[in-house]
């Protein structure tokens, strides 16, 4: 009995969800599976593990050893990326919108409804309950949308649909009151810490507004602190209501804070001034770069500094919205995905060149055919296009767009050097796979729509049915 093993999923480089960069590898979710793209070899492979339903988001640990994937029902699987095996299963009961591992890799934070949960990362040891809940934070008036960690893994900032962001402590601090950073007019799309110690933060809303926040001494001036929850003064031990703040970290626990209370203050407001809504954003703390995607297919690159908002690049990649973006570890490459078009792009912003660029079919695939030597697969779809894929790398290397109506059938010539296609536009076209051009168009005496195609073994006679 033959043993079949799932190898690759072609035709859909990206179908929604977030993007994860792991070294030179890019992880994208396609349905209930995860594709792994090797950006150096320009090849892709599909992980053998799968979720029960469509994947909502994924997260990779800083070491690159583990990956968490969450489906739309809140079920998660923990995968060993090096061995490509499933280690554990977990059900979070509700849909997980975002997940981030801490920089130290010992824990991860998930946004589940109006709650933010911090879990301990499962170890390689065999345990009855590998997922261990450490903290659960609430207080938000609507669902949480995004979460980010500080560089020292001590603080998390969470943005929500209630137009505010809150800063929670990953460890218990007596008397700590989470500050609320308010002022946005639309839901928060992305949040990030700018400093390694969590003393600066950015919040970005759907209307293209970026707010810069800094943790500074309150100096007893209550109205100047920005947010909503208030901080705790380690000198008097009394809580005060203000617009946001973080305490002096439990009576000088940070060292150097002494007895002076601190609070979060808004240092600046910046705007992207784009005609469409902001759909995604990613911040790279090492280089200070911010990538933002918009609903009309444009993404921008800005360099952020204290009180600075410098535009670096603006590029249009499609006519549809940019669904996700992500930096690699060094900040040199930017991964961008368009869900509606099935488009996946990796852009090197310094040289202004594409590292990787793939796009699947927009509509249903009607037919596919193997090349005689098995090195290529041709697909025909309702989007009037024919794509030829490499079976070795899983990438599309040529797309033919000459047909004006859905393509119903494709077939290779026995020599493997040409490809034939039949379409509802009444033509049978021949494409040269050496020069990548349409060198012949065949039609019938009476106009008709072709739905099938066949070639004789000699490659001289072509039969098309209607």
Q: Are 226 and 266 in contact (CB under 8 A)?
A: yes
Residue-level pLDDT at 226: 53
pTM of the full structure: 0.85
Q: What pLDDT is recorded for position 459? A: 84
- 148 contacts 192 by C-beta, under 8 angstroms: yes
**Residue 191 pLDDT:** 96
Count the neighbouring beta carbons within 10 Å of the beta carbon of residue 305.
10
The answer to whether 59 and 411 have CB atoms below 8 angstroms apart is no
58 contact partners, CB below 8 Å, separation of at least 6? 17, 18, 20, 27, 29, 34, 67, 68, 69, 70, 99
**Predicted confidence pLDDT, tens digits, the chain (466 residues):** 467 878 888 878 888 889 999 989 999 998 899 999 999 988 999 999 999 999 999 999 999 999 999 999 999 999 999 899 999 999 999 999 999 999 999 999 999 999 999 999 988 777 778 889 999 999 999 999 999 999 999 999 999 999 999 999 999 888 889 999 999 999 999 999 997 778 899 999 999 999 999 988 866 554 445 544 344 333 333 333 334 444 434 333 343 322 347 889 999 999 999 999 999 999 999 999 999 999 999 999 999 998 899 999 999 998 899 999 999 999 999 999 999 888 999 999 999 999 999 998 988 899 999 999 989 999 999 999 999 999 988 899 999 999 999 999 999 999 889 999 999 999 999 999 999 999 999 998 888 899 999 999 888 889 988 8
Tally the residues of the chain: 466
Rounded to whole angstroms, the Cα distance separating 325 from 331 reads 12
Which pLDDT score is estimated for 237? 35
Q: What is the strand order of the sheet 333-338 is part of?
A: 324-327, 333-338, 343-348, 353-359
Residue 139's closest CA among 162, 118, 169? 162
Q: What pLDDT, on a 0 to 100 scale, did the predictor assign at position 302?
A: 96
């Amino acid at each position: 009995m033959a043993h079949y093993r799932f190898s690759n999923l072609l035709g859909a480089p990206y179908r929604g969800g977030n993007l994860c960069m792991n070294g030179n590898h890019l992880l994208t979710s396609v349905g209930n599976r995860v594709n792994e793209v090797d950006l150096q070899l320009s090849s892709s492979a599909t992980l053998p593990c799968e979720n029960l339903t469509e994947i909502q988001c994924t997260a990779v640990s800083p070491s690159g050893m583990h990956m968490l994937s969450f489906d739309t029902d809140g079920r998660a699987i923990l995968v060993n990326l090096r061995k490509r095996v499933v280690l554990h299963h977990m059900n979070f009961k509700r849909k997980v919108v975002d997940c981030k591992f801490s920089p130290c890799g010992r824990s991860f934070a998930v946004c589940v409804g109006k709650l933010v949960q911090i879990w301990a990362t499962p170890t390689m040891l065999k345990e009855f309950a590998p997922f261990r809940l450490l903290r659960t934070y609430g207080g938000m008036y609507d669902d949480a949308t995004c979460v980010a960690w500080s560089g020292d893994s001590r603080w998390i900032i969470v943005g929500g649909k209630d137009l505010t962001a809150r800063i929670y402590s990953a460890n218990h601090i007596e008397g700590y009151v989470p500050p609320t950073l308010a002022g946005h007019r639309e839901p928060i799309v992305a949040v990030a810490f700018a400093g390694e110690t969590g003393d600066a933060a950015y919040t970005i809303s759907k209307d293209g507004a970026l707010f810069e926040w800094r943790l500074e001494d309150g100096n007893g001036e209550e109205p100047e602190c920005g947010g909503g929850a208030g901080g705790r003064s380690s000198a008097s031990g009394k809580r005060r209501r203000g617009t946001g703040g973080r305490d002096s970290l439990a009576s000088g626990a940070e060292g150097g804070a002494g007895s002076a209370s601190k609070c979060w203050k808004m240092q600046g407001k910046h705007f992207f001034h784009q005609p469409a809504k902001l759909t995604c954003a990613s911040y790279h703390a090492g280089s200070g770069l911010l990538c933002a995607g918009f609903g009309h297919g444009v993404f921008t690159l800005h360099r952020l500094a204290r009180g600075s908002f410098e535009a670096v690049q603006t590029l249009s990649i499609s006519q549809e919205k940019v669904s996700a973006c992500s930096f690699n570890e060094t900040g040199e490459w930017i991964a961008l995905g368009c869900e509606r078009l099935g488009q996946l792009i990796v852009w090197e912003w310094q040289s202004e060149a594409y590292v990787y660029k793939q796009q699947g079919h927009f509509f249903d695939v009607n037919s596919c055919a193997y090349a005689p030597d098995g090195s290529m697969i041709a697909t025909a779809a309702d989007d009037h296009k024919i794509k030829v894929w490499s079976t070795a790398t899983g990438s599309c290397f040529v797309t033919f767009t000459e047909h004006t109506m859905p393509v119903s059938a494709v077939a290779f010539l026995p020599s493997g050097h040409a490809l034939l296609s039949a379409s509802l536009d009444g033509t049978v076209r021949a494409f040269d796979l050496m020069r990548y051009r349409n060198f012949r168009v065949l039609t019938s005496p009476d106009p008709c729509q072709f739905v099938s195609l066949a070639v004789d073994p000699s490659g001289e006679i072509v039969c098309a049915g209607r």
